[in-house]
Amino acid sequence: MKKSFNMELFLSAVLTGSHATRQRHVRQAKIIQAEIAERWQRETPWTWQRKHVIWFLEKHLARRSKATRYYYLLTLRLLTRRLEKSWV
């Protein structure tokens, strides 16, 4: 049995703002994680590559509104800050 990855704990070091904002980032990060895991079997953000994040932005969010894409981009920036990557 495999332990599930705790996205809230992972992001806790970089989350700021109101409770609703933090919850939105955690919820969106879990969605990003689930989509990447389903497509590439990469369960944790530590195993992601830049191409996985770009795929999510370009393919998964293609039919979403500009506002939705913007909020997911903010969440992805938090994830890259936590991973200490330069994927900007």
Q: pLDDT band for 86, please (50, 70, 90 cuts).
A: confident
User: What is the CA 64 to chain-centroid distance, rounded?
Assistant: 16
* Phi/psi at 52 (5° precision): -70, -40
Q: What percent of the chain has pLDDT over 90?
A: 89
The two tokens of residue 33 are 């994680």
| 7-11 long-range Cβ contacts below 8 angstroms, 24+ apart | 7/33, 10/45, 10/82, 11/78, 11/79, 11/82
Q: Calculate the average pLDDT of the chain.
A: 92
The C-alpha torsion from 14 through 21 and 68 to 82, rounded to 10°, is: 10
User: What pTM did the predictor assign?
Assistant: 0.92
